[in-house]
Structure 1
Amino acid sequence: MRSPLPSCSASEGRAVEAALSIEHAGGRSMLRRQHVGYPLHVTRGFYLDAAKPDLLTLYLQSASGGLYAGDRIGLDVSVARGAAFHLTTQAATVVHDGRDVGAVQRLTVTVEAGAFCAVTNDPYVLFPGAELTLRTAATVAEDAVLCVADGFAVHDPRGSGRMFTELSSRLRIVRPDGRLLLQDAGRIGGDDLSGALGAMAAAANLVLIAPADRLPSAKSLQQAADACGALAGTSAAPNDAGLVLRILAPDGGILSRAMDAAFHVAAEAALGLTLARRRK
């Protein structure tokens, strides 16, 4: 989310609840309401796409150095009927040693009828001892589009030989009437990484929920990531809800480029045009 980047070196961490509300008015999508406290910061809105001038892009930034032990971060995103919104981060997020309490990041997204919403985070960089829990819940209207992308890479800046402790994630997507579309959960420990990923040190998921006529081909989504040096695979989401892309990469840089390339393929199919690159 996906993401907020709180900072605190104390063991109790930070508790942060943020909210963004996007509406369509006056011919463009705009940030109607926001509640974002320190250390989070939202840039001014950008309209980067001449072919889609109503698409609002926001960069969620941080005044700190990453996620720390004890951090509990929540973000609620609401995209109203007919609005178009892209939320992304300004850079990768460092996840520091969890000190046996870890960090939790929660994202809740509501996408109303006819709306487009993409939440694409740069990878989380898991330092030795990092323990991160990701929880994402989304409600998506029948004719709306949601693209959610999250990934991680492993890094040991001091060459200590230690791995991260654990990464766990859960994604649940429903229709407005509560009907379950997709539920995906996973957990991996640092000691299990080589057995799970082989020679790869980074991985990501991109989930695209959209009507069938606004989906790219599975092959094009996969090829976009593969062309960046990653290893990707695409499958149909349950309940004919969309597509799920899994990506493996040798490092965070390649993973980030593969995620971005796949996002642009997904957005072009959903919106019928090629979006401008998001500079970071």
Structure 2
Amino acid sequence: MRFQPLSSSRSDPGRDVEAYLAVDLAGGRTTLRRQLVGYPLHVTRGFYLDAGRPDLLTLYLQSASGGLYAGDRLKLDVSVGANAAFHLTAQAATVVHDGRASGSRQRQSLHVAGGAFCAIASDPYVLFPGADLALETMAIVAEDAVLFLADGFAVHDPGHSGSAFAQFSSRQRILRPDGRLLLQDFGRLRGDELRNGSLGPLAAAATILVIAPPDRLPAMAVMELSADRLGCLAGASLAPNGAGLVMRILAPDGGTLARALEAAFHVAGRAALGTELARRRK
């Protein structure tokens, strides 16, 4: 999930920030049962945007700061109760500033109970020169639940310094409630590798996981087309152990990638929930 701590000065060692959200189905719709979200984070009121699924709760996790800074250590725990439907996103892309040898780290812990739908879908991280960002997600997903999870990055050099970001890494582990490991996905890219042509002329990339039973999975060709038609290069494949599917996306810039991630969310949401979802305005 993309959220930002307080701005840091050059001498600031960074901040430890924790957030916890628990949602449950109650009275015919999903409600925020419990939250622990300290400054500078803020959760908006809940939105119910979808006529076809009035039970689906959408929350925006906002921040009062200007991005991720050196030494920041962030943790987000999300618990989605049985048969609940939950979408968590952010108000905008997150800027990642120079890591100054200590980098920025973000961890997510997700629990998705039986019959539930959970989407953690936000805009790509924007890597400034020197940015060093490590993402780690551990998710426990019930057999009949659905998890849509996306993370990605775009490169930006606002001062035209010619410098590259330091490193971007992402690790995702998906387990069943009994502890069985379904899949583990790990990737790392250094800025100098990107400059040397690892992504060709492209400057943004993302990975999408859709963990779902077969009857709630989107068609891989439709997922790929949702990104390709926006100017991206997308490739989807079945995940191991019958977990669902994985899709990689390459894009020319962060704006194009953000639109592709949004389109993929709508495709996956339609397959999982049986209805077209409304646009999430930002």
TM-score, structure 2 as length reference: 0.98
CA distance in 2, matches of 1:106, 1:4: 11
Match of 2:22 in 1: 21
CA distance in 2, matches of 1:138, 1:40: 22
Give the aligned residue type for 1:41.
H
Match of 1:119 in 2: 120
What is the deviation of 1:240?
A: 1.0
CA distance in 2, matches of 1:146, 1:279: 21
CA distance in 1, matches of 2:208, 2:90: 15
C-alpha offsets along residues 122-169 of structure 1, whole Å, 9 cap, x if unaligned?
110000000001010000000000000111000000000000001111
CA distance in 2, matches of 1:121, 1:257: 10
CA distance in 1, matches of 2:194, 2:99: 18
What is the deviation of 1:4?
A: 1.8
1:255 alignment partner, SS class: helix
Match of 1:151 in 2: 152
Match of 1:260 in 2: 262
CA distance in 2, matches of 1:272, 1:232: 24
Aligned pairs for 1:12-161 (under 5 A) are: 12-161=13-162
Equivalent pair of 1:208/1:266 in contact (CA under 8 Å): yes
* Gap regions ≥5 residues in structure 2: none
2:173 alignment partner, SS class: strand
The match for 1:202 among 201, 204, 211 is 204
1:257 alignment partner, SS class: helix
Equivalent pair of 1:41/1:60 in contact (CA under 8 Å): yes
Give the aligned residue type for 1:255.
L
Match of 2:3 in 1: 4
- Give the percent of matched residue pairs that are identical in Structure 1 and Structure 2: 68
What is the deviation of 1:219?
A: 0.2
Structure 1 consecutive aligned stretches of length 4 or more whose deviation exceeds 4 Å:
none
CA distance in 2, matches of 1:174, 1:97: 33
* Gap regions ≥5 residues in structure 1: none
2:159 alignment partner, SS class: coil
Give the aligned residue type for 1:137.
M
Match of 1:219 in 2: 221
Match of 1:165 in 2: 166
CA distance in 1, matches of 2:59, 2:168: 27
C-alpha offsets along residues 70-99 of structure 1, whole Å, 9 cap, x if unaligned?
000000000000100000111000000001
CA distance in 2, matches of 1:232, 1:67: 28
Most deviating of 230-239 and 192-201: 192-201
CA distance in 1, matches of 2:150, 2:76: 15
1:4 alignment partner, SS class: coil
What is the deviation of 1:34?
A: 0.1
What is the deviation of 1:8?
A: 2.9
Root-mean-square deviation (CA, aligned residues, Å) is 0.7
CA distance in 2, matches of 1:214, 1:193: 36
Equivalent pair of 1:168/1:185 in contact (CA under 8 Å): yes
What is the deviation of 1:196?
A: 1.6
C-alpha offsets along residues 163-214 of structure 1, whole Å, 9 cap, x if unaligned?
0001111000000000001100111100001422111000011100000011
Equivalent pair of 1:8/1:14 in contact (CA under 8 Å): no
Match of 1:270 in 2: 272
CA distance in 1, matches of 2:69, 2:265: 28
TM-score, structure 1 as length reference: 0.98
CA distance in 2, matches of 1:7, 1:154: 22
What is the deviation of 1:7?
A: 2.4
